[in-house]
Copies of this chain bind each other. A is one copy, B any other.
């Protein structure tokens, strides 16, 4: 491992693979990255992947690590909260935090990827090869079989280490799975909902047709629409809808009339600013939503899965890219330990990291319910109001689950999940049974008492859970 002339082959020049190539390049390794798509800096991106993403503090920690924090800021559209649209088109804002500086960002996948590619290519020993599709990986021999989309020829690359950052359809993961002599635990869980990307374009002056600095949500319990702002004045809109349940679904929305009728009934204010709705609806693909978990991520010291290739999650916490970036940060801290071999490094990495990627996968599923359903529940709205008050009044002493997951980048996901879930239960119980009342407006002394009660009850819940999870 000390020999930095080792050849590291990375499969996939998406966000995670490129960041990893950049970081390994900075650490002095010789890195070759093979990507099946054309170079996105010189080609129109294919549709079917989400155009913009939520970027927050865990992702930003990775940008700090590679020295790109300032440059990334220029690509971000801050979103301070959810703007919830009801069926009449009335809106109410629910901020993400009571601390002013805490917000998430909408960022273009393409722009961010291009920035990382440009930065990685500055290292002479980091090289990118586009239009090379990985067909399989021989993880005993540490070789990968590629198909050159240009010459249409197959070729084999040999490397000292192969790291697959090739996303949800990972070729290395498939090779792990198909090999019968290798005990590979694996799960893929699909939702009965799929998603489709649509858009709200800017007006002729390039201005935003809806509030810019917010994540728009039209929650309708069984389905929802969301919209995230882009730098150019447009919004990327995503419809999350059942394939076959309910009155309207992807399987029965087969005519323009029916799509427009659906939007007129459910999202009338959105329809007004989506003149291209019907055309886009039938042009753009409907894509599935699923969670992938697997183990082990590595085979000996030869190969490693990272990012979505190792743990794909549903998008409802806005943490997919942030988690993949955090993978690189965690792997970097393990490399700092100089464990002496890639096998020891990969083992230590998975041991540290898997509990956290499992946790964010589960949290993301929780948030699907929250976004499409709970945000319109009166008791949930009281909870958010209380939490924002507490965060504003005691910024150093109260963090909602959302804040722990999204803005507390040094807190491991699994700790955020455990504490956050217990705290949610405590807060909701205290509001339901009337121990905490928000009417009349609580004084600072009231809030101080609420805070203490919540901390006490949260700890009690955690304590009970510890007992319950003991043997038997």
Task: Give bound CA distance, A449 to B101, whole Å.
Answer: 61
* A190 located at the interface, meaning its Cβ lies under 8 Å from any Cβ of chain B in the complex: yes
Which of chain B's residues have a CB closer than 8 A to the CB of A187?
185-189
Task: Give bound CA distance, A401 to B472, whole Å.
Answer: 12
Which positions 178-199 of chain A face chain B at CB distance < 8 Å?
183-190
Which positions 412-465 of chain A face chain B at CB distance < 8 Å?
424-425, 428
Q: How far is the CB of A419 from chain B (nearest CB, A)?
A: 15
Q: How far is the CB of A400 from chain B (nearest CB, A)?
A: 13
Which of chain B's residues have a CB closer than 8 A to the CB of A288?
183
* A392 located at the interface, meaning its Cβ lies under 8 Å from any Cβ of chain B in the complex: no
- By beta carbon, the residue of chain B nearest A183 is B190
* A397 located at the interface, meaning its Cβ lies under 8 Å from any Cβ of chain B in the complex: no
A188 near B190 with CB under 8 A, answer no
Query: Could you say which of B189, B190, B369, B468 contacts A471, with CB atoms under 8 Å apart?
Result: B369
Which of chain B's residues have a CB closer than 8 A to the CB of A243?
183
Which of chain B's residues have a CB closer than 8 A to the CB of A380?
472
Task: Give bound CA distance, A246 to B52, whole Å.
Answer: 48
* A374 located at the interface, meaning its Cβ lies under 8 Å from any Cβ of chain B in the complex: yes
A472 near B186 with CB under 8 A, answer no
Query: Could you say which of B188, B190, B369, B472 contacts A374, with CB atoms under 8 Å apart?
Result: B472
Task: Give bound CA distance, A166 to B425, whole Å.
Answer: 45
Q: How far is the CB of A256 from chain B (nearest CB, A)?
A: 24
Interface 0/1 of A242-263, CB less than 8 Å to B: 0100000000000000000000
Which of chain B's residues have a CB closer than 8 A to the CB of A424?
472
Query: Could you say which of B190, B374, B468 contacts A185, with CB atoms under 8 Å apart?
Result: B190
- By beta carbon, the residue of chain B nearest A369 is B471
Interface centre among A243, A290, A374, A472 (most CB of B within 10 A): A472
Q: How far is the CB of A269 from chain B (nearest CB, A)?
A: 28
Which of chain B's residues have a CB closer than 8 A to the CB of A290?
183, 185
- By beta carbon, the residue of chain B nearest A366 is B472
Which positions 354-389 of chain A face chain B at CB distance < 8 Å?
369, 374, 380
B425 near A472 with CB under 8 A, answer yes
Which of chain B's residues have a CB closer than 8 A to the CB of A472?
374, 380, 424-425, 428
Task: Give bound CA distance, A243 to B424, whole Å.
Answer: 41
20 sampled A-B residue pairs with Cβ under 8 A: A183-B190, A183-B288, A183-B290, A184-B188, A184-B190, A185-B187, A185-B188, A185-B189, A185-B290, A186-B186, A186-B187, A186-B188, A187-B187, A187-B189, A369-B471, A374-B472, A380-B472, A424-B472, A425-B468, A425-B472
Q: Given A183-B190, A380-B472, list of 17 further CB < 8 A pairs?
A: A183-B290, A184-B188, A184-B190, A185-B187, A185-B188, A185-B190, A185-B290, A186-B187, A186-B188, A187-B188, A369-B471, A374-B471, A374-B472, A424-B472, A425-B468, A425-B472, A428-B472
For the complex of A and B, the 3 pairs showing the least CB-CB separation, nearest first, are A187-B187, A183-B190, A185-B189
